[in-house]
Chain A
Amino acid sequence: MEGQELPAVLIDCVGGKRGVYEDHAEFLEKYFRLITMKEYLENKSLGRKIRAVYQWFHKPVVNQELLQSLPNLEVVASAGVGIDHLDLRLLSSRGVKVSNTPLVVSTDTADLGMALMLASSRRIVEGHQIAVSPNTQHFAADWLGTEVSGATLGIVGMGTIGYKVAQRARAFEMKILYYNRRQRNKEEEGAVGAIYCKKIDDLLRQSDFVLLSVNLTPQTHKLIGKRELELMKPTATLINISRGLVVDQDALVEALQNRVIKAAALDVTHPEPLPRDHPLLKLGNVVLTPHIGSATRQTRRRMMEGMLESIQAALAGLPVPNEVLP
């Protein structure tokens, strides 16, 4: 509309390795005046205009200092499902709403969980290295992986993502156990053939694959430590698609080095990336991926669209889709 200014939204930057994608920015500029951190820092008076923060993979960092300079901030839209990087109470106390993008990431993340389980058990990364190595003359007959079909999968955290993993695993005729804050209803369990374990110990003792798909909260911080790893089978594999801090990383390194468990496949660590001299980088029985749970073109587009919607709703005083309450 002529004369109407588009609402000002703070972003970190456009393009490059960490910024908002150029085609996304182009799209968003139809609805918002995007202000980069650089522009804002050069002209702090812009702070008064900013009504929303579009937080693309934790950037820009939203802390006390920033909040104090954005008096008219109404909403922070965060990309992805995890919000452990935001101080929800602080934001709430300033009347700032928070939104995330839980559903759109769920299928990609479940797919990656399956990809990691299959890649680890069938030794895809090692196999590729052998297949392309200049030293390879023959393929050895005694080079073996382990079967996924028919094995037991224990899902720790049966939310949207965990349930989608169960749906996929069922098609591989896996036996599915799960541990969750609350038991799912009979129909949901029946649809994927999942058996509830009241105690995580029962799940850990019986599983060939243990997959972590919980939120990171104070309760799930270091959920998997020395004790839990020792309860797992020595032939078991740990798969983490949640947050690095759900696992006691030092305990994991020790368990992998001493063959307390067979292997691990981790999309998430703490920190990301790990220091280049970290033992996890050098273990032969570890597959690491660079936090790519939602890293497809299609999903990232849907994330952007969801964030746009949430910001627009917040600014219009309407119920905010995917609002995260403290």
Chain B
Amino acid sequence: MAEQELPGVLVLDVGGAQGVLAELAALLQRHFHLITMKEFLANKSELSRRIQSVFVFEGRPRIDRELLQSLPNLRVIGNSGVGVDHLDLALISAFGVKVTNTPHAVADPTADMGMALMLASARRLVEGCQIAVSPDTKHFAVDWLGVEVTRATLGIIGMGSIGYKVAQRARAFSMRILYHNRNRRRKEEEEAVGAHYCERMEELLQQSDFVMLVVNLTPQTHRLIGRKELGLMKPTATLINISRGAVIDQDALVEALQNQVIRAAALDVTYPEPLPRDHPLLRLKNVIITPHAGTATLQAAQAMAAEAVANMLAALRGQPIPSQVLPAGRIPPAAPPLS
């Protein structure tokens, strides 16, 4: 198909620190006429009608009323990633535009990141590395210790696809797995990973050596973990967050870490990202922070783009959409079975 016949997809940019990766742009160009924000702004009158979709990568471009008003033929926003808390679903829906995300592509790399952070924190990897390379190090102290992961208790809060994959991995470390979720999983699913359901999150918090947050950010999960929850955790416990920064009351977390209410935290996500450079979390020895890298692999980026492309094409063709996200309160249409 000639480029001009392909539906237009808007991206912020290609390449550089903020743009879509070059490899992803190539994938998009197989199915779409790729238009960057710069090109669009330079030629609004001609390009505005061409744009039927927007590929949102790392939360960009920002979807606001002004943009929506300037794209009369926009039908779908394909988000790269599963979290859509950066999108105003009600506003977008009011313009008759669909929103899709990529729950399948994110699952493995994000579960891996959860495990990486849990292990790094337990074994004090970042600190250890600093000691190993420090100009002041003369000997390695034998009383420098971390905590065990094998046979410890992992409490997973949010047992969706990602949480379940974390459980699968943790089981291989003979971990005792507890989970708390909106809905209880089927018995076979629980047994396959040896997970015990905790109807009350308090139960999970009191018994876990590691607490991992794997929920979506919604009004219900906003500040899910606050002072009370941190106080319920063991003083030897570690909190790991691979969901969204706003799931934790960050000020309460700082206090808990400073006062040894919990042992440590490992955060791939904060609020905001990055944190202000004078934020106390940056200076605490018992905190590991990573730059929201849960899906920061080329394979994951390609898989997310492919999933977004499939979603967007389905929307444009009027076919059932594999991963549509509806504004809260709406019942989703039945999705086609996964291929």
Is the beta-carbon distance between A107 and B151 smaller than 8 angstroms?
yes
Top 8 closest pairs, chain A to chain B, by CB? A171-B172, A118-B116, A115-B119, A17-B141, A288-B132, A131-B289, A107-B150, A127-B290
Is the beta-carbon distance between A289 and B290 smaller than 8 angstroms?
no
Q: Which residue of A lies closest to B134 (CB)?
A: A276
Contact residues in A for B123 (Cβ distance below 8 Å):
111-112, 115, 289, 292, 295-296
CA distance A136 to B289 in the complex (A): 13
Near B by CB (< 8 A), chain A positions 139-172 give 139-150, 167-172
Stretch at the interface among B11-19, B90-98, B249-257: B11-19
Query: Smallest CB–CB gap between A220 and chain B, Å?
Result: 22
12 contacts between A and B (CB under 8 A): A21-B143, A107-B148, A111-B173, A112-B119, A118-B112, A119-B120, A132-B289, A141-B17, A168-B172, A171-B170, A291-B140, A297-B145
Query: Smallest CB–CB gap between A17 and chain B, Å?
Result: 4
Query: Smallest CB–CB gap between A279 and chain B, Å?
Result: 11
CA distance A119 to B283 in the complex (A): 21
Q: Does B239 lie at the interface of the complex (its beta carbon under 8 Å from any beta carbon of A)?
A: no
Q: A111-B123, A276-B135, A298-B148 are in contact. Are A144 and B172 (CB under 8 A)?
A: no
Q: Could you list 14 further interchain pairs (A-B, Cβ under 8 angstroms) beyond the known A107-B174, A142-B16, A147-B109?
A: A18-B139, A111-B122, A111-B148, A111-B149, A111-B150, A115-B122, A118-B120, A124-B125, A137-B274, A144-B301, A145-B297, A288-B133, A289-B125, A295-B123
- Scoring B residues 255 to 292 as 1 if CB is less than 8 Å from chain A, else 0, what string do you get? 00000000000000000011101000011000011111
Q: Using a Cβ–Cβ cut-off of 8 Å, how many residues does chain A contribute to the interface with B?
A: 66
Is the beta-carbon distance between B277 and A134 smaller than 8 angstroms?
yes
- Scoring A residues 13 to 46 as 1 if CB is less than 8 Å from chain B, else 0, what string do you get? 0001111010000000000000000000000000
Is the beta-carbon distance between B291 and A125 smaller than 8 angstroms?
no
CA distance A190 to B145 in the complex (A): 35
Q: Does B168 lie at the interface of the complex (its beta carbon under 8 Å from any beta carbon of A)?
A: yes
Contact residues in A for B168 (Cβ distance below 8 Å):
171
Contact residues in B for A150 (Cβ distance below 8 Å):
108
Q: Does B129 lie at the interface of the complex (its beta carbon under 8 Å from any beta carbon of A)?
A: yes
Is the beta-carbon distance between A118 and B119 smaller than 8 angstroms?
yes
Is the beta-carbon distance between B139 and A292 smaller than 8 angstroms?
no
Query: Smallest CB–CB gap between B172 and chain A, Å?
Result: 3
Query: Smallest CB–CB gap between A39 and chain B, Å?
Result: 20
How many residues of B sit at the interface, in one of the four size bands?
35 or more
Is the beta-carbon distance between B112 and A122 smaller than 8 angstroms?
yes
Contact residues in A for B145 (Cβ distance below 8 Å):
295-297, 300
Q: Which residue of B lies closest to A296 (CB)?
A: B148
Contact residues in A for B15 (Cβ distance below 8 Å):
142
Q: Does B26 lie at the interface of the complex (its beta carbon under 8 Å from any beta carbon of A)?
A: no
Query: Smallest CB–CB gap between B311 and chain A, Å?
Result: 20
Q: A108-B150, A142-B15, A142-B21 are in contact. Are A273 and B108 (CB under 8 A)?
A: no
